[in-house]
A and B are shown apart, each in its own frame.
Chain A
């Protein structure tokens, strides 16, 4: 799997290259600035891009803008955005096209190599990987006005949270140490309570849940 990587701090870039190579990714290019990233994304057609939000030359949200531009040029281009902080505002912009293949994680998530690599693979396969903190922000905002969420049991809320992060039923079952059947039951309950249409496709399901949580505001 070919990866384009953009990170301006040498130590982090180097670490990410090593980590991804250790898990059999091929690093097509590892760049350190916005213009280089633009070029790499256009020319190398990677399977997935791992991008830091803040890049030179402006040190603002250069990386995010590059990623959004590249996805406009090639809809569905898998992009995993990394940042020192997560904002619902940015998550919303990344998810706006509804194409999937989007990840948005805190840099800290790299600490757990397996989960991080799992997220990269998921995004590359057209799935979603949202940072738990983004989901927390979404749930907090919905808690203020959303009666439907109040009807969920604590367990269902937990499942909803993991699902919104982009995990599959199997992964959720593994995380909560229950059978996959139990999770399937929870998810259909959740979808019924929230009035969402059930879909067999994992990715569509995640996008539906995220869209639901981000509604209105």
Chain B
């Protein structure tokens, strides 16, 4: 009789204790999480402060030197496009950390050069792109304003420790207590008393950084967006990009229709005509020459089989059946299985499907990039990583081939770039000579 009662009592008690413990635990976990966030934000801010000062200054100097070299035998003409691509890569890295570390999206709005542009035409195109000039103008601002806005959140976290050190006895290094030998913030350090005040001020800073460091770092990213992103005045530019990509899209689809028409006309249609003719002849020959009729029947069957095979290839080129049946992930897997090179495919889209046109564009882009990798790179292994994050489909194709791939120069990548451009998608190639090559594609879209 007593057993259950006691047990119940005991149980109730431990429950309450657990509750209290849990609440304490939860607060502890929250604080620990926050401290981790703050420290991480501080470290990142410090890295960004150093990087923006050093990187942007360096690139700015290189740019000025390169421009100064233009009159000197035109040497600058060779170096400037190179520097400009570096600036672009640098700006892209900053865009990347802005979205990764601060959740601030700074979408690039580069104009897509024509597919058949050669090396020089591309360089010229890049120089004429307003986005390039915006980035160049951003460099000095990043080295100053960008540096300062990144420095503040880092300093807020690090500066308090100087205050603590002073309070703990570091003040003796600066003064013997008879004069002011050092300033900590607005506190003149002139002895143990003022050193203690410095410690208190440090503590205030530290508490402030607990709340302020992450939002301040975000402020830095917002600043970067204001300088690097497209503002209202770029709307006109956006309209131009849209007009270009739309014209591309119309051109491409018209060319596609023309190709399909020709394929049908010369292929399946012609074969069906010959099947019909053969069957007509068979009808006439059936009585007179059964042997010949049988031959013609076999030929008609072969023609219809050929017509089917041609139609199948054509359909595959228009919209691969696996894509319709299974979606992008499995379609890319099926594609990989057809390659003569070992290909690893990872897909992370939570079973979602993008709109059919986006899926189709992504599929053909991957297909083209994979074909390139197999044909030109001599790769032994290829990997495809397909994932959906931050409102965009990201596809990275990496191979261990000989590298040296670039957009343009007949590599087919320029075509991919244009195809993706219709969907505001972008393509980036990293391919040092000697490999490995990574082609990254990103298409903003919604999943359903």
Contact = CB atoms under 8 A, between A and B. Distances in A.
Interface of A: 53-54, 59-61, 83-85, 87-89, 92, 107-108, 111, 137, 140-141, 143-145, 216-217
10 closest residue pairs by CB, A with B: A144-B340, A88-B337, A61-B325, A89-B334, A60-B325, A87-B334, A85-B321, A108-B308, A144-B341, A108-B305
A137 B326 contact: no
A54 B338 CA distance: 21
A85 B380 CA distance: 28
B337 A61 contact: no
Contacts of A83: 321
B310 to A, nearest CB: 11
Contacts of A59: 324
Interface in B300-330: 301, 304-305, 308-309, 312, 315-316, 321-322, 324-326, 330
Interface of B: 301, 304-305, 308-309, 312, 315-316, 321-322, 324-326, 330, 333-334, 337-343, 380
A92 B324 CA distance: 19
B321 A84 contact: yes
A143 B321 CA distance: 26
A137 B337 contact: yes
Given A111-B304, A141-B340, A144-B339, 6 more contacts: A60-B326, A85-B321, A88-B334, A108-B308, A217-B337, A217-B342
B342 A144 contact: yes
Contact of A141 (B304, B326, B338): B338
Contacts of B330: 89
B301 A89 contact: no
A111 B322 contact: no
Contacts of A108: 305, 308-309
Contacts of B333: 89
A144 B341 CA distance: 6
Contacts of B341: 144
10 contacts: A53-B325, A84-B315, A87-B337, A88-B337, A88-B338, A137-B337, A144-B339, A145-B380, A217-B337, A217-B343
Given A88-B334, A141-B337, A60 B324 contact: yes
A26 to B, nearest CB: 27
A51 B142 CA distance: 64
Given A85-B316, A217-B342, A217-B343, A111 B301 contact: yes
B436 to A, nearest CB: 18
Contacts of B308: 107-108
Contacts of B315: 84-85
A137 B338 CA distance: 6
A119 to B, nearest CB: 16
Nearest to B320: A85
Given A85-B312, A89-B333, A111-B301, A140 B322 contact: no
Nearest to B324: A60
Given A141-B338, A144-B340, A61 B326 contact: yes
A179 B321 CA distance: 41
A60 B343 CA distance: 25
A59 B353 CA distance: 16
A166 B218 CA distance: 63
Report which residue of B308, B340, B341, B380 has the largest number of chain A beta carbons within 10 angstroms of its beta carbon: B340
A113 to B, nearest CB: 10
Nearest to B312: A85
A115 to B, nearest CB: 12
Given A87-B334, A89-B330, A140 B340 contact: yes
Contacts of B316: 85
A140 B321 contact: no
A137 B309 CA distance: 16
Contacts of B342: 144-145, 216-217
Nearest to B381: A145
Given A60-B325, A84-B321, A217-B342, A89 B312 contact: no
A54 B322 CA distance: 10
Nearest to A61: B325
A87 B322 contact: yes
B309 to A, nearest CB: 7
A150 B254 CA distance: 45
Nearest to A217: B342
A107 B321 CA distance: 14
